[in-house]
Amino acid sequence: MSKFSWRKVAAAALIVPALGLAACSSDGGRAPEAANDGATGAVVTTPKINVALITHAAPGDTFWDTVRKGAEEAAAKDNVDLQYLSDPDGGRQAQLIEQAVDQKVDGIAVTLAKPDALASALKKARDAGIPVVSLNAGEDRSKELGAFTHFGSNEKLAGEAVGEKLAADGFKHPVCVIQEQGHVGLENRCAGVKEKVPGSEILYVQGTDMTQVQSTVTAKLQASKDVDVVIGLGAPFTLTILKSVAGANSDAKVASFDLNPELAQQIVDGNVIFTVDQQPWLQGYGAVDALWQNTRGGFEIGGGQPVLTGPAIISKENAAAVLEFAEQGIR
Amino acid sequence: MTNTLLTPPTAPKVADERVASKGAISTLLGRPEFGALVGAVAMFAFFAFVAPVFLQPSSFATVLYGSSTIGIMAVGVSLLMIGGEFDLSTGVAVISSALSASLFSWYFGTNVWVGVVLALVVSLAVGFINGWILIKTNLPSFIVTLATFLMLTGLNLGLTRLIGGSVSTPSIADMDGFESARSVFASSVNIAGVDVKITVFIWIVLVAVASWILLRTRVGNWIFAVGGDANAARAVGVPVIRTKIGLFMGVGFCAWILGMHNLFAFATVQSGEGIGNEFLYIIAAVIGGCLLTGGYGSAVGGAIGAFIFGMANKGIVYAEWNPDWFKFFLGLMLLLATIVNLIVKKRAETK
């Protein structure tokens, strides 16, 4: 059988590309490369500096693609050599910071999802005279840990913004779907919603398995018929929740946090009532640019206060304008 | 250790037991999946009692869907476990399959069915490579499949970003062949007003085919033999290498089916998904009576194990328990089910 399999594999290896040439899709797929891809804009003439962007991103999380895009665009404009690193584990993220200090980078942009784990590594950076900005998470600890500014959206405020809008629209019983149990930022979002709509509930799902996300949300909707709105905490999860609502024949509406092109389209089409964007592109761009500005003229953007990048509410009224940028991967 | 070696091994009485005729009841009690069946009935009764909505047909269809996505993989994993090996790469292998179908057809602009066929080749190749390395190196399957798990995780992320420019695949929902592929892999069948996902039927068919192979064919005997004692099996002429590689490829086939379901149900795939699911498949097989040491178990058992997991997973939501305790309840349920399984099996064996 093993010999036979080799032959099969070889045959398939020949047949598949042949089929591929024969069976082209007339719709969709990769768009032809744009003519002016990689356009060369003006770049500052200050000497090249090295910046490390160190996040707590889990591998494969689309949100961080957008942050990184913003950071890369700022780096391109500011003549910055950008090094992107990430590890969801607090201890290992701290080691990445120490490595950056060892490399004597000119600036560090860091997310403070687990501030205590990073404290001693950040002290080393401070002692070495490396300027630090924080982004995305850890607004309240940013100053104390030595970052001169912070770029981000307060998760609790974002949650409250959602809760306020839901309350204004007359919703009484939201279900807030958390895809990663114990994630402080996600819990804060739902806590913010609950503050404004006391009848809200939390549902935990396993974010690494979309089929389980779908069936668990369906189960929830079948169990409690008084649910009037379901809130997804990330664009891919919200898109799956839409299928759950349809599958459970529920009348519940769907709201969301964060954004991707498909979600923007669903808002334009009226299937999702709104989403709260923390504008991650701005977080990446702002953090890298602030480090350059600091090197350039000793500027401290924000004047010691965090720079808020959100929450920006995207609903049917303004979704069409955002969709175009979402398709470029910057919103 | 030394003491046990000094005592001469007693002659096994297995041969006598095999020829002795058994009653229908003791045959049933001796089946590997019997304990799991008792556990499943107990869990069903429990949730029917604490959450009446659990009994509603549409709820039950949801439970079956949740079970089927575990169960489809549990079929391949159970057979592999009976054959004496296990696979840690199954969770990400499902996503690898979905990614290769999606990215290939998107990048080259082909009909999505081309991607589907390519994904099958990729999935079978992953299984083949797992088995082949295992045989060639004689390393334990823990090491080999752990390596595959890590490599696939890296490939999933790296290739997806390299090809698609993002860590999630671009949507292929508007491409040729998507609708027909979706009707095969991710549609629903309306039965008496209740939409039942097609994965439930695929699951049942797979379990039936796997049971037939195990119980009615020569290959089934080979699987039990290589899992029981590979050297003894080789001595009596069982093709151990082919059987083991075939079992890994069977797991690959199941990963392909589930991967295609994921792809066509959601149109995009996030490259970081699937990690951790390999344990669910192994848990399902173990609850279902497959021994971690191999040589014992059944395909139906794995299915019942997946069903128990599905009931626990969804039943907690139907019962509307405090979600903070979700994982704790889930663990407790699994532990109880496995203990019931063990007790029943022991009693059946002593009879």
Write down the domain spans for chain A: 17-152+280-308, 155-277
In this model, does residue B8 exceed pLDDT 50? no
Say what the pLDDT of residue A21 is.
53
- Does B314 sit within 8 Å of A27, measured CB to CB? no
In this model, does residue B197 exceed pLDDT 50? yes
The residue of chain B with its CA nearest to that of A28 is B175
Residues of chain A with pLDDT under 70: 1-24, 32-41
| Angstrom distance (rounded) from CA B331 to CA A213 | 19
Distance (Å) from the alpha carbon of A214 to chain B's nearest alpha carbon: 9
**What's at A216, amino acid-wise?**
T
DSSP letter for each residue of B38-100: HHHHHHHHHHHHH-GGGGSHHHHHHHHHHHHHHHHHHHHHHHHHHTT---S-HHHHHHHHHHH
In percent, the amount of chain B with pLDDT more than 70 equals 90
Rg for chain B, CA atoms, rounded = 21
Identical fold between A17-152+280-308 and A155-277: yes
Say what the pLDDT of residue B19 is.
54
| Residue B348 pLDDT level (bands cut at 50, 70, 90) | low
In this model, does residue B329 exceed pLDDT 80? no
| Residue B7 pLDDT level (bands cut at 50, 70, 90) | very low
- In 10 A of CB A224, how many CB atoms? 17
Residues B36-62 pLDDT 10s? 888 899 889 999 999 888 888 888 899
Among candidate residues B77, B238, B212, the one with its CA nearest the CA of residue B145: B77
Average pLDDT taken over every residue of chain B: 87
In this model, does residue B283 exceed pLDDT 50? yes
Query: What's this model's pTM, rounded to 2 decimal places?
Result: 0.82
Say what the pLDDT of residue A82 is.
93
| Angstrom distance (rounded) from CA A248 to CA A245 | 5
Say what the pLDDT of residue B312 is.
86
Question: Who among B121, B272, B276 is closest to A61 (CB)?
Answer: B272
Average pLDDT for B171-187: 92
DSSP letter for each residue of A5-32: HHHHHHHHHHHHHHHHHH-B-SSSSPPP
Average pLDDT for B138-162: 93
Say what the pLDDT of residue A7 is.
62
**Phi-psi domain of B151 (left: phi exceeds 0; alpha: psi -120 through 50; beta: other):** alpha
Question: Who among A62, A218, A219 is closest to B167 (CB)?
Answer: A62
Among candidate residues A68, A79, A77, A114, the one with its CA nearest the CA of residue A93: A114
| Residue B199 pLDDT level (bands cut at 50, 70, 90) | very high
- Does B317 sit within 8 Å of A25, measured CB to CB? no
| Angstrom distance (rounded) from CA B156 to CA B167 | 9
Q: Is the dihedral of CA B108, B110, B114, B115 positive or negative?
A: positive
In this model, does residue B148 exceed pLDDT 90? yes
Residues A205-263 pLDDT 10s? 988 899 999 999 999 999 988 999 999 999 999 999 999 999 898 999 999 999 988 99
The residue of chain B with its CA nearest to that of A263 is B171
Mutation pick from A210, A240, A242, A250 vs chain B, by most beta carbons of B within 10 Å, is A210
Q: Which two tokens stand for residue A58?
A: 């889990």
- In 10 A of CB B302, how many CB atoms? 36
| Residue B103 pLDDT level (bands cut at 50, 70, 90) | very high
Residues B284-318 pLDDT 10s? 998 888 887 888 889 999 999 999 889 988 888 88
Long-range contacts of B217-224 (CB under 8 A, 24+ apart): B219/B243, B219/B246, B223/B79, B223/B82, B223/B83, B223/B247, B224/B82, B224/B295, B224/B296
* A17-152+280-308 maps to CATH 3.40.50.2300: yes
Say what the pLDDT of residue B271 is.
87
Chain A residues touching residue B245 (CB < 8 angstroms) = 1-2, 5
Tell me the H-state helices in B267-320. 277-287, 299-318
In this model, does residue B12 exceed pLDDT 90? no
The residue of chain A with its CA nearest to that of B265 is A211
| Angstrom distance (rounded) from CA B117 to CA A15 | 10
| Angstrom distance (rounded) from CA B309 to CA A209 | 14
In this model, does residue B93 exceed pLDDT 70? yes
Interface predicted TM-score (ipTM) of this complex, two decimals? 0.77
In this model, does residue B4 exceed pLDDT 60? no
Mutation pick from A55, A69, A215 vs chain B, by most beta carbons of B within 10 Å, is A215
Q: Kindly state the helix (H) or strand (E) to which residue B273 belongs, with its residue range.
A: none
Angle of CA points A297, A302, A307, to nearest 5°: 130
Query: Which domains does chain B carry?
Result: 33-350 (1.10.3470)
Chain A residues touching residue B246 (CB < 8 angstroms) = 1
In this model, does residue B23 exceed pLDDT 80? no
Q: Are B315 and B54 in contact (CB under 8 A)?
A: yes
Q: Are B307 and A206 in contact (CB under 8 A)?
A: no
Say what the pLDDT of residue A169 is.
93
Say what the pLDDT of residue A22 is.
58
Q: Which two tokens stand for residue A225?
A: 């018929």
Does the CB of A318 have a partner CB in chain B at under 8 Å?
A: no
Chain B residues touching residue A262 (CB < 8 angstroms) = 171, 268
- Does B268 sit within 8 Å of A219, measured CB to CB? no
Chain B residues touching residue A65 (CB < 8 angstroms) = 166-167
Architecture of domain A155-277: 3-Layer(aba) Sandwich (3.40)
Question: Who among B62, B170, B275 is closest to A215 (CB)?
Answer: B62
In percent, the amount of chain B with pLDDT more than 90 equals 55
